[in-house]
């Protein structure tokens, strides 16, 4: 077991940080450890990390620095965007639109808003997980105030036509806010919120080889949202609380690293994905869900394994040093069938037999080949065991 090969294919759950991220965080924790609200030099040094991180993020999106609000991660960003925007625009209407395949941090926040008297429309998706523009057009009405649609689905890697959605929304009613959960997209795509009609956008640090516990919300300067965390008025009152200086510093460094040689990094991810998809497709009783190739996100592969329970296969792979996911990490502690898989019409026999493989910048082709080799060995054995 000591020399066991270790293959981490669960990068959509979380990623190993870049060495440069670790180094800047240690520096911020041990040398420049001041509180940004302090007036002395230690506070000024800490504030520099926040400022530089904000500059890096704003530059990656081609937006203004004041439009970036640091949060504790993707879940808080989604909550802040949806609750904050809905409450601020309530006098204009009470109708919100989203899809049936959103992350739990959007779906459950929408459920909360429904309890507060808002009306929610959940748009269906096709077998590839793509939302219909016609369905969205029909759903928009006079009291619609917010549309929230994810950029990349976290379970199967479907890429929504965000720019077309933004254009459609603004052509019907420019005052409708468009929120995008870009947690699985940022770092994989070059995103330009101003060009794509995005008013609010959520991002999480630990999906891009940055630290856990930090993220940001892009808020267009024309958008009015109500804060959901109150206190000392940090970040211009948008999100009170002492800033997570090491986290923000690490996030800023991760953004710098992930967008360095970006095209090459993305091509490497697609090469790994193509290699895995080709290998999986050659195995008996294996179905790759949704689109593949350049029509899908570069880092996610979702596959159903006929006759094998996902949890059993996951642990069998783990015994061989391969780490994958049976769905969204944020909902893995709550057993139940994936809403995404039901949403795309996956047949009943595969609903509890699907695994997600997700890549990061540290993965290699040799790891993909090893994973396929292990699957070829395990699947016949596990299927015989189940029939017995």
For 237-249, the pLDDT digits (tens) are 999 999 999 999 9
Q: At residue 386, does pLDDT exceed 80?
A: no
Burial of 336 (0-12, 13-18, 19+ CB in 10 A): exposed
Diameter of the chain measured on Cα atoms: 71
Query: Pseudo-torsion of CA 302, 305, 308, 311, nearest 10°?
Result: -10
Residue length, the chain? 388
pLDDT band at 1 (very low <50, low <70, confident <90, very high): very low
User: What beta strand segments (E) does the chain contain?
Assistant: 7-8, 68-71, 95-99, 119-123, 144-148, 177-181, 200-204, 215-219, 286-288, 300-305, 322-323, 354-358
Q: How many helices (H) and strands (E) does the chain have?
A: 13, 12
Q: At residue 87, does pLDDT exceed 50?
A: yes
Which of 100, 141, 330, 371 is flagged as catalytic? 330
Asked about 330 being catalytic, the answer comes back as yes
Taking phi over 0 as left and psi of -120 to 50 as alpha, with beta for the rest, 26 belongs to alpha
pLDDT band at 388 (very low <50, low <70, confident <90, very high): very low
Instruction: Give residue for tokens 């923000």.
Output: 248
pLDDT band at 320 (very low <50, low <70, confident <90, very high): very high
Instruction: Give residue for tokens 């993965």.
Output: 363
- Cα 11–Cα 17–Cα 19 angle in degrees, nearest 5: 145
pLDDT score at 3: 58
The 3-state secondary structure of 299-354, one letter per residue:
CEEEEEECCCCHHHHHHHHHHCCEECECCCHHHCCCCCCCHHHHHCCCCHHHHCCE
- Topology of the domain comprising 19-258: 3.40.640
* Domain boundaries along the sequence of the chain: 7-16+262-387, 19-258
Q: How far apart are CA 112 and CA 24, in angstroms?
A: 38
pLDDT band at 330 (very low <50, low <70, confident <90, very high): very low
pLDDT score at 347: 79
pLDDT band at 327 (very low <50, low <70, confident <90, very high): low
pLDDT score at 19: 98
pTM of the model: 0.94
> What is the C-alpha radius of gyration for the chain, rounded to an integer number of angstroms?
21
Which tokens is 218 given? Answer: 């892009």
pLDDT digits (tens, 9 = 90+) for 119-176: 999 999 999 999 999 999 999 999 999 999 999 999 999 999 999 999 999 999 999 9
Domain 7-16+262-387 grouped into CATH 3.40.1640.10 = no
Q: Which of 308, 239, 303 is nearest to 276 (CA)?
A: 303
């Amino acid at each position: 077991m000591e020399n066991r090969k270790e293959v981490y294919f669960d990068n959509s759950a979380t990623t190993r940080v870049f060495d440069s991220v670790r180094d800047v965080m240690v520096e911020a924790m041990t040398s420049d450890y001041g509180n940004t609200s302090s007036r002395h030099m230690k506070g000024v040094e800490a504030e520099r990390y926040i400022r530089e991180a904000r500059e890096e993020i704003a530059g990656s999106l081609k937006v203004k620095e004041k439009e970036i609000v640091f949060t504790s991660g993707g879940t808080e960003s989604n909550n802040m965007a949806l609750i904050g925007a809905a409450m601020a625009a309530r006098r204009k209407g009470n109708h919100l639109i989203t899809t049936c395949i959103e992350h739990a941090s959007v779906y459950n926040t929408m459920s909360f808003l429904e309890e507060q008297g808002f009306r929610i429309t959940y748009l269906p998706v096709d077998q590839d997980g793509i939302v219909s523009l016609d369905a969205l057009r029909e759903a928009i009405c006079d009291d619609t105030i917010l549309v929230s649609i994810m950029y990349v689905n976290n379970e199967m890697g479907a890429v929504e036509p965000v720019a077309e959605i933004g254009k459609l929304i603004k052509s019907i009613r420019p005052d409708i806010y468009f929120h995008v959960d870009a947690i699985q997209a940022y770092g994989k795509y070059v995103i330009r919120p101003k060009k794509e009609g995005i008013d609010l956008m959520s991002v999480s640090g630990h999906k891009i080889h940055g630290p856990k516990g930090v993220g940001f919300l892009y808020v267009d300067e024309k958008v009015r949202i109500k804060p959901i965390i109150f206190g000392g008025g940090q970040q211009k009152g948008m999100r009170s609380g002492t800033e997570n200086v090491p986290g923000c510093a690490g996030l800023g460094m991760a953004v710098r690293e992930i967008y360095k040689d970006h095209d090459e990094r993305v091509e490497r991810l697609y090469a790994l994905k193509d290699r895995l998809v080709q290998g999986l497709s050659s195995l008996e009783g294996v179905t790759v869900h949704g689109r593949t190739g350049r029509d899908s996100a570069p880092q996610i592969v979702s596959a159903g394994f006929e006759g094998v329970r996902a949890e059993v296969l996951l642990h069998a792979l783990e015994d061989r040093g391969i780490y994958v996911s049976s769905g969204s990490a944020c909902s893995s502690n709550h057993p139940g069938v994936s809403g995404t898989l039901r949403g795309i019409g996956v047949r009943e026999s595969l609903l509890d037999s699907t695994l997600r493989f997700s890549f990061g910048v540290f993965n290699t082709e040799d790891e993909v080949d090893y994973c396929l080799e292990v699957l070829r060995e395990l699947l016949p054995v596990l299927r015989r065991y189940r029939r017995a």
